[in-house]
């Protein structure tokens, strides 16, 4: 970014926020601007609005094959996990009436079908971190497929379904409305 553009943006920033933005002279002035190519590699996160979801799609059936090959060794063939280990349970039956008994029952498994508020989180997390021994090794299509299979096994996506950006973006999970702002604020009241 040229110095001139930078300066114009400083003023834009000042006007916009009213916050004191460092002038050229105040700035430490180290570092460099990232290139678009660098950002494309680094910035792959997917938020609940799903706007940054990649192209591609995958079916539940394809996901079953991928899960058996690349995930089941740790998470179990049916995603049941290994109790007492970090090998998380990924799949559990939906809770009757989609109730949310976790506050009174710590033994309930917290899966994407019972607990997680956003389906985009599953895609984002698998892309970041799974499969554990080779994170980031799935193609986007494989990630859609395995995400679709986990969602379907949790009963929140049709078994004959195909997942893509549009579908994932609009998929509503049973527990979406369960999360509330932290009301602890110090003071004498225990919350």
Angle (nearest 5°) at CA 149 between 145 and 151: 115
**CA-based torsion, 108, 113, 117, 122: positive or negative:** positive
The span from the CA of 162 to the CA of 63, in Å, is 10
**Cβ atoms of 114 and 95 closer than 8 Å:** yes
The span from the CA of 6 to the CA of 25, in Å, is 12
**Interface region with another protein, contact rule CB under 8 A, candidates 57-65, 142-150, 154-162, 181-189:** 181-189
Nearest approach in angstroms of CB 66 to another protein is 19
Q: Is 155 a binder of another protein (CB under 8 A)? A: no
**Interface region with another protein, contact rule CB under 8 A, candidates 38-46, 60-68, 145-153, 158-166:** 38-46
Residue 87 or 102 having the CB closest to ligand HEC: 87
The span from the CA of 58 to the CA of 138, in Å, is 12
Contact mark string toward another protein, 106..125, x via CB under 8 A: x-x-x-x--xxxx-xxx-xx
Which residues of the chain form contacts with ligand HEC (CB under 6 A)? 70-71, 73-75, 86-88, 90, 122, 125-126, 130-133, 138, 146
């Amino acid at each position: 970014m040229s110095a001139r553009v930078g300066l114009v943006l400083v003023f834009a920033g000042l006007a916009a926020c009213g916050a004191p933005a460092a002038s050229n002279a105040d700035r430490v002035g180290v570092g460099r601007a990232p290139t678009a190519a660098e950002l494309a590699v680094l910035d792959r996160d997917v938020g609940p609005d799903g706007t940054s979801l990649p192209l591609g799609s995958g079916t539940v059936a394809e996901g079953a094959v991928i899960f058996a090959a690349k995930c089941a060794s740790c998470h179990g063939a049916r995603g049941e996990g290994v109790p007492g280990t970090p090998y998380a349970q990924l799949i559990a039956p939906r809770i009757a009436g989609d109730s949310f008994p976790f506050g009174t029952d710590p033994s309930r498994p917290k899966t994407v079908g019972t607990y997680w508020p956003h389906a985009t989180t599953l895609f984002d997390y698998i892309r970041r971190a799974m499969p554990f021994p080779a994170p980031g090794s799935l193609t986007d299509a494989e990630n859609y497929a395995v995400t679709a299979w986990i969602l379907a096994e949790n009963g929140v996506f049709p078994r004959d379904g195909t997942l893509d950006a549009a579908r994932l973006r609009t998929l509503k999970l049973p527990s979406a409305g369960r999360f509330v702002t932290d009301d602890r604020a110090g003071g004498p009241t225990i919350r």
